[in-house]
Structure 1
Amino acid sequence: MRGGWRALSRHVSHPADEAADDRTFPALSVLDLVPVRGDQTSGDAIAATLALARTADRLGYRRYWLAEHHNMPAVAATNPPVLVALVAGATERIRVGSGGVMLPNHAPLVVAEQFALLEAAHPGRIDLGLGRAPGTDPVTRYALRHGAGGVDDDAVNRFPEYVDNIVAMMDTAGVGLDVGGRVHELRATPRATSRPPVWLLGSSDYSARLAAAKGLPYVFAHHFSGQGTAEALALYRDQFRPSPELAEPRTFLTVNAAVAETAGEAERLALPQLHAMVALRTGGPLRPQLLVEEAEAVSLPPEHQGLLDAMRRRWVIGDPETAAAEVARLAATYRVDEVMVHPVAGAYDEEPVRRSRSRENSLSLLAGAVHAGARARA
């Protein structure tokens, strides 16, 4: 049903996201895909994510975002709202959000209801990141969107409209839906007192232009693409129009990271994720994430080794001081006050299946080195 939305209030009531501060080092955040190793069940992987989130919370990371991917043997992040609820309930301070909900897969009202309820349960701690990519293969995409998102192309083409609808429906005053000349009141949750900020996510200039036009915060998927980041951020900043949501452009950087006590150890820990990305980019078989020993035993053809090396150069891999310096360099290069790290460190054989020790250690070592560097510069 297509109708006209009418705002029932011009007041925008949601907790303002953290403004950029005057620190000389970036704030740190986490992106989690809930990786599943070959020795783990889905339940094990979720338990490891909750332990990782508690680590990030304790260390002072700013936010913790969960991705949306479907029908992948190495990724358990299939349902961001469910994971956001689990992580928010297991932590105390950190902001928790979606990185992101792939909107064409879902009915906008359902997304609005989910995140309005999460915000009601955890006021001031919820982010709603929205993307328009499928997050899966064509067959699974069909299964996801059949009866939920309309015709496939229509759901993608209506992405800007769906974004507007979600923003309107989560308003604390509700929204009016004009159907047949009558305005019907609609609320995502009965008595909201705040709503989560909406971020647009993307790996091309499409979302950069849309976020700028709508005056919304924006994140480019640097951790996935690694190319076009500067151009997308410049486009967003240059074309940004202030809105009731946001007075100035707001963005941060995402990056894959593996940090260990030594550079050599960090290189070993990054290898399972590098092999997984090579398989994804070359059409190879997708499987649960390899253990470090398994990844070291893989022999890649020369052309694939070149791809692995090229990806590795865009990642933050090293000892704490080197990794912290690289994070600071990236923040300065792209003019951001926040860097969201996707911790990609793998696991060794016989490690506890309900923990990701190397991922937790990456967060701890990086945060320690960044804070030590800040104190040294103070």
Structure 2
Amino acid sequence: MSKDLSLSVLDLMPVRTGQTTADSLAASVELAQAADRLGYTRYWVAEHHNMPAVAATNPPVSIALLAARTERIRVGSGGVMLPNHTPLVIAEQFALLEAAFPGRIDLGIGRAPGSDPVTSYALRQGRGNDAVAEFDAYVNDIIAWLEPEGVELGVGGRRYALRATPAATSAPPVWLLGSSDYSARLAAKLGLPYVFAHHFAGEGTGQALDLYRSLFTPGVTSAPRTFLTVNAVVAKTEAEAIAQARPNLLSMLALRTNQPMRPQLNIDEALQTQIPPAHQVLADAMSDKWLIGTADQVAGRLQELAERYDVDEVMIHPVAGADAATDPRRSPNRVQTLELLGQALHRETAATH
């Protein structure tokens, strides 16, 4: 991997036509092992609920599965949607993950629901926006509980120790995730590392990162630390990459236009699916922000993106679809994206040193 630009991976654990949840998990294990082998820095899994095309519903469980099947790469959440959970439970889960895989766990925290309103209501047991309003306090609580010494509370005139795990020797780093100014401001205020969801928002990236850096106050970290996420498909030809990107593009288009969600189409199905003229502008706007092409094309655009936003790490969300005949327990085109991109960056680094 390039010494100048570190690459990481974001995985939503997609479920495509003909796949079971078990198949999707097996494909993600293979992808994580490829990222580990290729020298990627970290591998994060998302949190989404009640979506036919996404198996990433429970980051701590997914992280345990992936960390156990890899050797070196950092594994984390991109992210835990904190309003859906009791903060102490999240602290306990990640304290145990850190104990099992010391120095390899990241806790990325987000504020979005990661679901539709009905599912969100069920997840939050009717708490509604109360959990969102308490987000700042919850983040602070988790940071304190994760420390080996935990916290002490005054209860009935006595001191009461509260720890995420009895005898921790280390704590996983906490990152704030966001696609708006809110998370940028909070990360700066608390002195936390910050990740902008460029793969989802695509707009406001520069403003959010500039705001974070300008307002940063040393806290958990002594200096601003950030990277961004981006959707990518890399293939041997540009035409192949465009075709491989289409299944995910149709899924995202359905989400953005409130269409019924379904398992991700295979490439042949996606190529045969017409985009309504009224939605074509939106589809083009989304795909224009993705990195789609050959290895050299994408590596060049990736370097430009990193320079534009002054980051030394980019998290790739490999969104390549699969052919109908592909083994359901594999996602070879997603693996190919990581392989070809890593090779191209190696060549680019060697040529400039």
> Counterpart in 2 of 1:233?
209
Q: Distance in 2 between matches of 1:363 and 1:324?
A: 11
Q: Which amino acid aligns with 1:36?
A: V
Q: Which amino acid aligns with 1:202?
A: G
> Counterpart in 1 of 2:97?
118
On the 8 A contact 1:259/1:266 being kept in 2, the answer is yes
Q: Runs of 4+ in structure 1 displaced over 4 angstroms?
A: none
> Counterpart in 2 of 1:144?
123
On the 8 A contact 1:25/1:328 being kept in 2, the answer is no
> Counterpart in 2 of 1:71?
50
Q: Distance in 2 between matches of 1:182 and 1:132?
A: 34
On the 8 A contact 1:220/1:232 being kept in 2, the answer is yes
> Counterpart in 2 of 1:327?
302
> Residue 303 of structure 1: CA displacement?
1.9
> Residue 178 of structure 1: CA displacement?
2.5
- Stretch deviating more after TM superposition (171-180 or 28-37): 171-180
Q: Which amino acid aligns with 1:152?
A: G
> Counterpart in 2 of 1:209?
185
Q: Distance in 2 between matches of 1:72 and 1:303?
A: 24
On the 8 A contact 1:320/1:365 being kept in 2, the answer is yes
> Residue 305 of structure 1: CA displacement?
1.2
Map 1:91-130 onto structure 2 (within 5 A): 91-130=70-109
Map 1:238-249 onto structure 2 (within 5 A): 238-243=214-219, 245-249=220-224
Cα 1:24/1:194, change in 2 over 3 Å: closer
> Counterpart of 2:109 in 1: which secondary structure?
strand
Match of 2:35 among 53, 56, 64: 56
Listed as ranges, the gaps of 5+ residues in structure 1 are 1-22
Match of 2:151 among 170, 175, 185: 175
Q: Distance in 1 between matches of 2:195 and 2:159?
A: 35
> Counterpart in 2 of 1:337?
312
Residue deviations 1:49-88 (CA, integer Å, cap 9, x gap): 0000000000000000000000000000000000000010
Q: TM-score, normalised by structure 1?
A: 0.92
State the superposition RMSD in angstroms. Answer: 0.9
Listed as ranges, the gaps of 5+ residues in structure 2 are none
Map 1:344-363 onto structure 2 (within 5 A): 344-363=319-338
> Residue 313 of structure 1: CA displacement?
0.5
Q: Distance in 2 between matches of 1:160 and 1:218?
A: 14
On the 8 A contact 1:27/1:339 being kept in 2, the answer is yes
Q: Distance in 1 between matches of 2:214 and 2:207?
A: 10
Q: Distance in 2 between matches of 1:81 and 1:186?
A: 21
Match of 1:278 among 227, 244, 253: 253
Q: Which amino acid aligns with 2:316?
A: V
Identity of aligned residues (%): 62
Residue deviations 1:215-267 (CA, integer Å, cap 9, x gap): 00001110000000000000000000011x20100000100000001111000
> Counterpart of 1:270 in 2: which secondary structure?
helix
Q: Distance in 1 between matches of 2:215 and 2:159?
A: 34
Q: Which amino acid aligns with 1:322?
A: Q
> Residue 328 of structure 1: CA displacement?
0.5
Q: TM-score, normalised by structure 2?
A: 0.98
Match of 1:36 among 15, 18, 43: 15
On the 8 A contact 1:25/1:370 being kept in 2, the answer is no
> Counterpart of 1:152 in 2: which secondary structure?
coil
- Is 2:283 the partner of 1:308? yes
Match of 1:224 among 173, 176, 200: 200
Q: Distance in 2 between matches of 1:24 and 1:77?
A: 31
Residue deviations 1:5-57 (CA, integer Å, cap 9, x gap): xxxxxxxxxxxxxxxxxx77310000000000011000000000000000000
> Counterpart of 1:124 in 2: which secondary structure?
coil
Cα 1:279/1:188, change in 2 over 3 Å: same
> Counterpart of 1:336 in 2: which secondary structure?
coil
Q: Which amino acid aligns with 2:254?
A: A
Residue deviations 1:313-341 (CA, integer Å, cap 9, x gap): 10000000001001100000000000000
Q: Distance in 1 between matches of 2:158 and 2:183?
A: 33
> Counterpart of 1:112 in 2: which secondary structure?
helix
> Counterpart of 2:129 in 1: which secondary structure?
helix
> Counterpart of 1:155 in 2: which secondary structure?
helix
Q: Distance in 2 between matches of 1:277 and 1:178?
A: 49
